[in-house]
Amino acid sequence: MIAYPAYHRLPVYDPVRMELEDKEELDGASEMQDVLDYSMTNLWWAGKELRSDQTLEQYLGRNEKTKIVVKLAPKSSGAPVREPRIDEQTHKAMAHYYKKQEDNKKLIEDDDDSYLDSEWANPKAMKSALIVGGRPIQMRPGGVNR
């Protein structure tokens, strides 16, 4: 209650709220509590093992503002599994829009006018269909036809 205005405003998954409402199930272990022995642990960054006999400068260069995130892994486990850069749903959406973009490029490049020679594309087709007995039908102003 001192740290927060009231514990009822905390989200239901917040550990503080769960503890205050006695809903948190503590089994005594969590990912944060794993302690790895220094001699049995490797540091991994960008798919490379960072060895303790080399400095970070040898891996990263002399840039003092470079920030890196390393993973700790036991020596017996090998390289940690790489996390995907984007999730599956985003990947599907990107593939859809890429395909749509490629289709649009093909349509823009396809300036073929050969369809204009087709029978259905004749702009005078209606006029030629209205010719009766070799003579075209003529319309007079006033709506009287002969």
Q: Ranked by mean pLDDT, which of 8-17, 45-54, 76-85 comes out on top?
A: 45-54
Give the C-alpha distances (Å, rounded to integers) separating 112 from 20, 104, 105, 106, 109: 72, 15, 14, 11, 9
Average pLDDT of the residues of the chain: 77
What are the pLDDT digits (tens) for 78-120? Answer: 788 877 788 889 999 999 999 999 998 888 887 777 777 777 7
Q: Is the pLDDT of residue 36 over 80?
A: no
pLDDT for position 93: 92
Residue that is written with structure tokens 């550990």 in the block: 15
- State the Cα–Cα distance between residues 81 and 73, nearest whole angstrom: 10
> What are the start-end ranges of the E strands in the chain?
41-45, 48-50, 71-74
Q: For residue 97, give every residue at least 6 positions away whose Cβ sits within 8 Å of its Cβ, in sequence order, or none.
A: none
